[in-house]
């Protein structure tokens, strides 16, 4: 396969042919002057797949999306920040449906082909008068991806978007993605929105499987604060404008497509960790030699999710015992005397014993913006990588005064 | 039953007849001038039971205790702060055994009747030269409980101890307890030490069952930071000096004894939450109407353990949606439209809808040193109470520079 995956400079969801985007200031959160309502639109109907929060409290837009995706088709997404429309009961559900209807009317498509995404404070209602007029004002274009990326930000400090392309047997395929998320982030989806676009002519079954595979190695492997949100969603829209046969598992471009989707998701997932509330460092935890991949995932997420590991990394404190304690408490099978721990390139612990390591090199490995931990469990073939971030005083400050 | 449980003023582990305690400054942690090595001793051999960390990484003293408790008997505990003796391999295990041997020689008892407890930094070795001479210097007395309580403190700011008594059919029974813990605290035991003493003539089987029951409603229902330690232990020593028949489940004092043990454990567990690293508030989460007690426990601990709930409580921020999100993500069965949420006496959310509550009253309920949340799930008879604390900038500061 010559299917090299190339990153498109300044790419995003609207870098994929046939997709348009745009956003406006609707003033959803009182007194906040920023883009807060956007639309992503495909000129062609799309095969679509989604993955949604596993929280039992599901926001109104999540319930709507699950219903509207039942037929595996969608053509537009309307998204807002400033209000999660969660814990809002029947009235909130009516608001979500009205957002879909208003968007459908604007685009002259069916309401059932519109998905809705909301993020922000839980437990308040949308100011529908402002939403109604704002939807009418949104201008869609192939340059609107950046505005959409900004409109879904809450405590995010930077927009998060990417597009990649690859060629296979004379066809060029493009995959774009946009995401938001900076807190309430935990394995199995938490307040995190991600919209993916592609021109690949993917069948719905294949698209759904490719999405689940990509999410499993990316968004399901990041953790910021262990809190799982009510509004998470990752949705992919495939409009089929790339030439060639429909993609299924046997298609020559299938593997490259899955890789491209996973690459886009992993880029966005890591971007979320880097931009996590108050964070100063991205933490990458690689686990090898676990009894199974499932155990490796448990172990990697357990270490990346440990508050004591996160605070030690923040303080650039060589308190590596916390890493082993988090591993031991993760639920994954492990044995101290078979475990080896590396910080960057420095081996700190091997086979049940602390090593007399080079402290200067270890400090240097903690000093950068990315900290790499590697755990070899010596039990089997299981591997996994998880990402997290440090937890800082700023995280506490941001989250002790979020609604006020 | 007239078995009223009375708290003994300034009571502790050595308030129980036949128990002596004492501590010295051994200088285990370089440059720290405080009590750091203590002994708890019963003049009579005791029936003993213990509950230990579920972390797969178990400190050397945990491995020793599990072995020494196999016969259900013990007579002394030697405990240190400043070094956890965890992740120290064979050499660490030898150090733990030497501590037991030195203590046994001092007290003229069998090494197998000595338990060892350590708390502090993971991954460093004990300075055995200092430990050896310090064990010889410890003076034991019935007034030494407070010194022992101080010797096991790490980031704790106050010693934690209590004793209670009750009378039953002419016999007086006493239960004392001492604990430490301020971080790495999470359901299923985390760095937390607790020693319990009683003069009740309890059979080992009964004692073990009573201890597990008490720990389940107390230490297993608190959470500070979600990190589970390598060194947790709760041990009870029963010397049988109270008059009367041996306690078993049919004994008239059995229920009062279990209640007294649970009361002592709950007092100490709440004291740990109140004194949690950087904490300003104790959070009590009561769950009622869950589908089962197991679900209620899951829900209560999920809410008490949510970092976003903790930071909102710290900021006295009425961001109650986070409580529902934490409940929904806890794994417990729940349905939004059957759920009711109270903050103190104020109902914020009922049957799937936010209420128009009295904001001043709600703010007042958040303003105190103890914040009470009550969730009625409307599904069944399951109840549970969990305790946590807020997470503050000070927690981050303390934990980003703990070893240095």
- Structure confidence at residue A394 as a pLDDT band (50, 70, 90): confident
Residue that wins the pLDDT comparison between B390 and A187: B390
**Residue B312 clears pLDDT 70, i.e. is over it:** yes
Q: Output the domain CATH number for residue A19.
A: 3.60.70.12
E-strand stretches of A112-154: 114-119
What's the rounded mean pLDDT across residues B110-134? 93
**Residue B141 clears pLDDT 60, i.e. is over it:** yes
- Record: contact B319-A403, CB cut-off 8 A: yes
Residues of chain A contacting B312 with CB distance shorter than 8 Å: 399-400, 402
Question: Where is average pLDDT lowest: A185-189, A342-346, A351-355, B209-213?
Answer: A185-189
What's the rounded mean pLDDT across residues B130-146? 96
Q: Which of A308, A321, A334 sits opposite B123 (nearest CB)?
A: A321
Question: Where is average pLDDT lowest: A18-32, A101-115, B206-220?
Answer: B206-220
- Give residue B54's pLDDT: 74
- In the residue annotation, B191 being an active-site residue is answered as yes
d(CA A296, CA A351) in angstroms, rounded, equals 18
Using the CB atoms, write b or e for B17-47: b if 16+ within 10 Å: bbbbbbbbebbbbeeeeebbbbbbbbeeebb
- Give residue B276's pLDDT: 78
| Cβ proximity of A28 and A120 under 8 Å | yes
Q: Which of B55, B399, B404 sits opposite A311 (nearest CB)?
A: B399
Instruction: Return the residue in A120, A307, A379, A395 with the most chain B beta carbons within 10 A, the one to mutate for interface testing.
Output: A307
Instruction: Return the residue in A57, A359, A367 with the most chain B beta carbons within 10 A, the one to mutate for interface testing.
Output: A57
**Residue A189 clears pLDDT 50, i.e. is over it:** no
Residue A38's alpha-carbon distances to A25, A237, B97, in angstroms, are 9, 16, 66
Give the distance from residue B334's alpha carbon to the nearest chain A alpha carbon, in angstroms: 7
List, for residues A274-306, the tens digit of each pLDDT value: 887 788 899 999 999 999 999 999 999 889 988
Same domain, B249 and B318: no
Q: Output the domain CATH number for residue A372.
A: 3.10.20.340
Same domain, A220 and A327: no
CA triple A264-A267-A272, angle to 5 deg: 125
- Record: contact B307-A55, CB cut-off 8 A: no
d(CA B283, CA A323) in angstroms, rounded, equals 28
Domain-located, residue A189: yes
- Give residue A124's pLDDT: 86
Domain count, chain B: 2
d(CA B281, CA B270) in angstroms, rounded, equals 11
**Residue A404 clears pLDDT 50, i.e. is over it:** no
Give the distance from residue A357's alpha carbon to the nearest chain B alpha carbon, in angstroms: 13
Residue B66, phi-psi category: left (phi > 0), alpha (psi -120 to 50), beta (remainder)? alpha
Residue that wins the pLDDT comparison between A394 and A71: A71
What's the rounded mean pLDDT across residues B396-401? 78
What's the rounded mean pLDDT across residues A27-32? 84
Same domain, A193 and A311: no
Residue that wins the pLDDT comparison between A266 and B101: B101
CA triple A126-A128-A129, angle to 5 deg: 140
List, for residues A136-167, the tens digit of each pLDDT value: 999 999 999 999 999 998 878 889 899 999 99
Residues of chain B contacting A321 with CB distance shorter than 8 Å: 84, 86-87, 121-123, 230
d(CA B242, CA B171) in angstroms, rounded, equals 7
* Residues in Cβ contact with B138 at an 8 Å cutoff, skipping those fewer than 6 apart: B22, B23, B24, B37, B38, B39, B106
Same domain, B119 and B234: yes
Query: Could you give the percent of chain A with pLDDT greater than 90?
Result: 48
- Give residue B224's pLDDT: 56
d(CA A271, CA B271) in angstroms, rounded, equals 40
Quote the tokens at residue A307.
Answer: 């508050």
| Cβ proximity of A327 and A339 under 8 Å | yes
Residues of chain A contacting B52 with CB distance shorter than 8 Å: none
Same domain, A204 and A353: no
- Record: contact B336-A84, CB cut-off 8 A: no
Domain-located, residue A58: yes
d(CA B137, CA B259) in angstroms, rounded, equals 37
Give the distance from residue B385's alpha carbon to the nearest chain A alpha carbon, in angstroms: 20
Instruction: Return the residue in B321, B335, B347, B359 with the most chain A beta carbons within 10 A, the one to mutate for interface testing.
Output: B321
Residues of chain A contacting B84 with CB distance shorter than 8 Å: 321
- Give residue A187's pLDDT: 42
Same domain, B267 and B307: no
d(CA A364, CA A281) in angstroms, rounded, equals 13
- Give the chain B residue nearest A306 (alpha carbons): B227
d(CA A296, CA A301) in angstroms, rounded, equals 8
Domain membership of residue B337 as a residue range: 282-400
Give the distance from residue B27's alpha carbon to the nearest chain A alpha carbon, in angstroms: 20
**Residue B399 clears pLDDT 80, i.e. is over it:** no
Q: Which of A103, A154, A191, A223 is catalytic?
A: A191
Q: Which of B87, B312, B327 sits opposite A399 (nearest CB)?
A: B312
| Cβ proximity of B333 and B294 under 8 Å | no
| Cβ proximity of B216 and B145 under 8 Å | no
Which residues make beta-bridge pairs with B197? B176, B237
- Give residue A182's pLDDT: 66
d(CA B219, CA B34) in angstroms, rounded, equals 27
Give the distance from residue B181's alpha carbon to the nearest chain A alpha carbon, in angstroms: 15
Helix (H) or strand (E) holding B104: helix B89-107
Nearest CA to B200 out of B142, B271, B255, B145 is that of: B255
d(CA B305, CA A345) in angstroms, rounded, equals 34
Query: Could you give the percent of chain B with pLDDT greater than 70?
Result: 94
- Give the chain A residue nearest B224 (alpha carbons): A307
CA triple A55-A58-A60, angle to 5 deg: 165
Residue B272's alpha-carbon distances to A176, B86, B280, B311, B389, in angstroms, are 50, 22, 12, 18, 10
What's the rounded mean pLDDT across residues B106-119? 95
d(CA A196, CA A257) in angstroms, rounded, equals 13
Same domain, B230 and B338: no
CB atoms near residue B70 (< 10 Å): 9
Domain-located, residue B165: yes
Same domain, B269 and B295: no
- Record: contact A400-B311, CB cut-off 8 A: yes
- Give residue B188's pLDDT: 40
Domain-located, residue A155: yes
Torsion sign (Cα): A329, A335, A336, A339: negative
Mean pLDDT of chain B: 88
d(CA A297, CA A222) in angstroms, rounded, equals 11
How many Cβ pairs within 8 Å bridge chains A and B? 220
**Residue A235 clears pLDDT 50, i.e. is over it:** yes
Same domain, A237 and A314: no
List, for residues B166-210, the tens digit of each pLDDT value: 998 888 899 999 988 765 555 443 467 888 889 888 888 888 888
Residue that wins the pLDDT comparison between B275 and A281: A281
- Give residue B204's pLDDT: 86
Residue B143's alpha-carbon distances to A2, A16, A330, B137, in angstroms, are 80, 77, 41, 16
| Cβ proximity of A119 and A38 under 8 Å | no
Same domain, A214 and A297: no
CB atoms near residue B3 (< 10 Å): 16
Residue B17, phi-psi category: left (phi > 0), alpha (psi -120 to 50), beta (remainder)? beta
Domain-located, residue A1: no
Q: Which of A58, A321, A400 sits opposite B312 (nearest CB)?
A: A400
Nearest CA to A282 out of A301, A304, A260 is that of: A304
- Give residue A185's pLDDT: 54
Q: Which of B88, B103, B191, B197 is catalytic?
A: B191
Same domain, A264 and A307: no
Q: Which of B274, B294, B310 is the last residue of a domain?
A: B274
**Residue B86 clears pLDDT 90, i.e. is over it:** no
- Record: contact A354-B396, CB cut-off 8 A: no
Q: Which of A230, A329, A353 sits opposite B89 (nearest CB)?
A: A353
Q: Number of C-alpha atoms within 13 angstroms, CB side, residue A50? A: 31
Residues of chain A contacting B318 with CB distance shorter than 8 Å: 403-404
Give the distance from residue A39's alpha carbon to the nearest chain B alpha carbon, in angstroms: 26
Give the distance from residue B231's alpha carbon to the nearest chain A alpha carbon, in angstroms: 10
List, for residues A61-81, the tens digit of each pLDDT value: 999 999 999 999 999 999 999
Q: Which of A274, A301, A321 is the last residue of a domain?
A: A274
**Residue A208 clears pLDDT 50, i.e. is over it:** yes
Instruction: Return the residue in A87, A278, A331, A353 with the most chain B beta carbons within 10 A, the one to mutate for interface testing.
Output: A87
Residue that wins the pLDDT comparison between A386 and B230: A386
Query: Could you give the percent of chain B with pLDDT greater than 90?
Result: 48
- Structure confidence at residue A224 as a pLDDT band (50, 70, 90): low
d(CA B312, CA B362) in angstroms, rounded, equals 13
Same domain, A84 and A55: yes
DSSP A20-84: EEEEE----STT--S--EEEEEEEEEEEEEEEE---SS--HHHHHHHHHTTTSEEEEEEEEESB-
Domain-located, residue A79: yes
Residues of chain A contacting B94 with CB distance shorter than 8 Å: none
d(CA B149, CA B276) in angstroms, rounded, equals 16
* Residues in Cβ contact with B54 at an 8 Å cutoff, skipping those fewer than 6 apart: A329, B188, B189, B228
DSSP B341-395: EEETTEEEEETTEE----HHHHHHHHHSSEEEEEEE-SSSSEEEEEEEE---HHH
Quote the tokens at residue B310.
Answer: 């903790």
Domain-located, residue B1: no
Instruction: Return the residue in B86, B91, B328 with the most chain A beta carbons within 10 A, the one to mutate for interface testing.
Output: B328
**What single-letter DSSP state applies at residue B63?**
H
- Give residue B192's pLDDT: 74
Domain-located, residue B260: yes
- Give residue B225's pLDDT: 52
Pairing verdict, β A6-7 and A160-168: antiparallel
**Residue B290 clears pLDDT 60, i.e. is over it:** yes
- Give the chain A residue nearest B85 (alpha carbons): A321
d(CA B276, CA B289) in angstroms, rounded, equals 29
- Record: contact A325-B122, CB cut-off 8 A: yes
- Record: contact B354-A124, CB cut-off 8 A: yes
d(CA A349, CA A342) in angstroms, rounded, equals 7
Q: Which of B274, B295, B319 is the last residue of a domain?
A: B274
């Amino acid at each position: 396969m010559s299917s090299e995956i190339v990153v498109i400079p300044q790419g995003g969801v609207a870098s994929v042919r046939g997709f348009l985007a745009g956003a406006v200031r609707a003033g959803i959160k009182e007194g906040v002057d920023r883009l807060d309502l956007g639309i992503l639109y495909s000129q062609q109907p799309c095969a679509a797949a989604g993955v949604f929060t596993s929280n039992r409290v599901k926001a109104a837009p999540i319930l709507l999306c699950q219903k509207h995706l039942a037929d595996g088709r969608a053509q537009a997404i309307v998204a807002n920040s400033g209000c999660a429309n969660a814990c809002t009961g029947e009235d909130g559900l009516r608001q979500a449906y009205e957002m879909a209807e208003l968007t459908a009317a604007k685009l002259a498509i069916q309401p059932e082909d519109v998905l809705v995404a909301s993020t922000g404070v839980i437990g308040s209602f949308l100011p529908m008068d402002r939403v109604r007029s704002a939807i009418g004002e949104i201008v869609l274009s192939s340059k609107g991806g950046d505005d959409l990326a900004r409109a879904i930000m809450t405590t995010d400090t930077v927009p998060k978007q990417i597009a990649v392309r690859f060629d296979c047997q004379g066809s060029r395929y493009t995959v774009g993605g946009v995401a938001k998320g900076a807190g309430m982030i935990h394995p199995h989806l938490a307040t995190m929105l991600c919209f993916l676009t592609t021109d690949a002519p993917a069948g719905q079954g294949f698209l759904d499987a490719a999405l689940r595979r990509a999410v499993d190695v990316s968004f399901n492997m990041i953790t910021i604060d262990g809190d799982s949100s009510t509004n998470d969603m990752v949705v992919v829209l495939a409009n089929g404008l790339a030439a060639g046969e429909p993609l299924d598992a046997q298609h020559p471009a299938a593997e490259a497509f899955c890789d491209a989707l996973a690459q886009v998701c992993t880029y966005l997932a890591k971007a979320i960790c880097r931009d996590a509330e108050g964070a100063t460092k991205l933490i990458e935890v690689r686990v090898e030699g676990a009894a199974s991949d499932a155990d490796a995932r448990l172990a990697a997420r357990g270490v990346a999710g440990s508050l004591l590991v996160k605070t030690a990394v923040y303080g650039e404190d060589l308190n590596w015992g916390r890493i082993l304690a988090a591993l031991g408490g993760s639920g994954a099978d492990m044995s101290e005397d078979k475990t080896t721990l590396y910080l960057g390139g420095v081996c700190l612990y091997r086979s049940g014993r602390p090593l007399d390591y080079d402290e200067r090199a270890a400090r240097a490995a903690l000093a950068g913006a990315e900290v790499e931990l590697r755990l070899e469990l010596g039990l089997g073939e299981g591997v996994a990588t998880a990402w997290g971030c440090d937890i800082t005083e700023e995280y506490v400050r941001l989250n002790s005064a979020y609604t006020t």
